[in-house]
Structure 1
Amino acid sequence: MWDVLVVGGGPSGLSAALFLARAGLKTLVLDGGRSQVLQVSRVPNYPGLLDEPSGEELLARLKAHAERYGAEVRPGVVKGVRDLGGVFEVETEEGVVEAERLLLCTHKDPTLPSLLGLSRKGTFIDTDEGGRTSYPRVYAAGVARGKVPGHAIVSAGDGAYVAVQLISDLRGEPYKDHAK
């Protein structure tokens, strides 16, 4: 059983996974391989990356960073979800995954929000400032919640922000992630 299932392996999902795993949460990312950044031949405006990697290279780096702290990243597309009362049972092509919380980083894909009956604003998932959706234990980040434009660095930042909110909610106090 996973503490958090992150659905979406783009910048917001992988950045969130990094923060969640660093906080000690057992974190799985399901990556459907459809991140918008895969269409980019180079990313010239990601701070700290002077070599201007391709979108594919950027995702590989973000994935390696999240995995370094214990997140697991698997290919997968969600086909169904059930709330079993405190645990979500998520059906994928590869089998069933159980998680206590979901973080949706699914761009504008309506599948999972529709399965959960989430409140929406047009094509986006309706959230509060902290990424909390209308469904308990379900969060959304990045373009999925319509709070950020489709830029890798902004989406990554929103993924980190929502992950920190999720961790703070879970612990009942503000979470700070600093190297010691």
Structure 2
Amino acid sequence: MYDVIVIGGGPAGLQAALTIGRMHRTVLLLDSGEYRNATVEHAHNLLTNDGRDPAELRRIARAELAAYATVEVRTTAVTAVGGSLGDFAVTTADGVAHARRLVLATGMRDELPAVPGLAEQWGRRVAQCPFCHGHEFAGQRVGIVIEGEHAGMIERMLRPVVASAFLASPADVAEVAEVDGALELRLADGSVERVAGVFTAATATQRAPFAEQLGCGILPGGGVEIDPLGRTTTPGVYAGGDMAHLAALPGPMVSLAAAIASGQLAGASAVRDDIMA
């Protein structure tokens, strides 16, 4: 019986395990090895680590966790969860592990507009967050392939950064192709626009079904509902990272820094609630 099992080995889950381990509670971190930013080669907008490879960030985090005797990390996918406060059961290929409390940090899955070639550049020359990827296109021309009013907002955010922006609806783009270190947007009308990179909008869905299986409240936008301390609506279950946010917010703050902060909060709340029980 662990004090806490953390499901998910991204920034939120790693931070939650570190926070719990520093209080000498037994914590098992289960990491499937699948990450939302798996195609990203350089993480940005993270203080002291701006530009670092996300895989290197995970490697460093795991090395830090190894210093804590009560923290165990396994690279294995969770196949099922069940139970309730005091005895949750988490099933993997290794068997069933039990814990009094759970932290969910399983992240989200991105579905891109159905434009051929867009997915192949995702996380490289195609992104959705100007804060995380805008500066890398400074002084260059970019494409904004987004439907509706959101396109205008992204264009206004990027005005001080890029030289110019070409806006198009996904329906107007027949193909995206990399040519000589840039991207060509081949439009449905036969014309071609050459840009350094593209910003688009992905539809995010829960990567794992565990929150729903545990009866956690799901917000209209698809995120898991949490309170200001990272608690879900299911007693003993906490959530952090992109998968969860407060009902008062339109969605999660999608960044490494925000994920780390929410993981720390979820981990600390799990420890606090355990001693107050």
TM-score (normalised: structure 2): 0.58
> What is the Cα deviation at residue 79 of structure 1?
1.5
**Which residue does 1:153 correspond to in 2?**
257
Long gaps (5+) in structure 1: 174-180
Q: Per-residue CA shift, 1:133-165, capped at 9, x if unaligned?
A: 111111111111135322112101110122122
**Which residue does 1:141 correspond to in 2?**
240
The answer on whether the counterparts of 2:85 and 2:100 sit within 8 Å (CA) in structure 1 is no
**Which residue does 2:19 correspond to in 1?**
19
The answer on whether the counterparts of 2:15 and 2:264 sit within 8 Å (CA) in structure 1 is yes
4+ aligned runs moved over 6 Å, structure 1: none
Larger radius of gyration: 2
Provide the rounded CA distance (Å) in 2 between the counterparts of 1:90 and 1:35.
Answer: 20
Secondary structure of 1:126's counterpart equals: strand
Provide the rounded CA distance (Å) in 2 between the counterparts of 1:65 and 1:145.
Answer: 25
**Which residue does 2:86 correspond to in 1?**
86
Identity across matched positions, percent: 31
Between structures 1 and 2, the one with greater helix share: 1
> What is the Cα deviation at residue 104 of structure 1?
0.2
Provide the rounded CA distance (Å) in 2 between the counterparts of 1:12 and 1:85.
Answer: 21
Taking structure 1 as reference, are residues 106 and 74 closer, same or farther at Cα in structure 2, changes over 3 Å only? same
The answer on whether the counterparts of 1:37 and 1:152 sit within 8 Å (CA) in structure 2 is no
- Determine which of 113, 132, 136 is the counterpart of 2:231: 132
**Which residue does 1:163 correspond to in 2?**
267
Between structures 1 and 2, the one with greater strand share: 2
TM-score (normalised: structure 1): 0.87
Say which structure, 1 or 2, has more relative contact order (CA 8 Å, 6+ apart): 1
**Which residue does 2:215 correspond to in 1?**
117
The answer on whether the counterparts of 2:89 and 2:99 sit within 8 Å (CA) in structure 1 is yes
The answer on whether the counterparts of 2:31 and 2:76 sit within 8 Å (CA) in structure 1 is yes
Provide the rounded CA distance (Å) in 1 between the counterparts of 2:82 and 2:100.
Answer: 12
Taking structure 1 as reference, are residues 161 and 77 closer, same or farther at Cα in structure 2, changes over 3 Å only? same
User: 154-163 vs 143-152, which deviates more?
Assistant: 143-152
The answer on whether the counterparts of 2:5 and 2:29 sit within 8 Å (CA) in structure 1 is yes
> What is the Cα deviation at residue 120 of structure 1?
0.6
Taking structure 1 as reference, are residues 27 and 136 closer, same or farther at Cα in structure 2, changes over 3 Å only? same
Q: CA RMSD in A?
A: 1.9
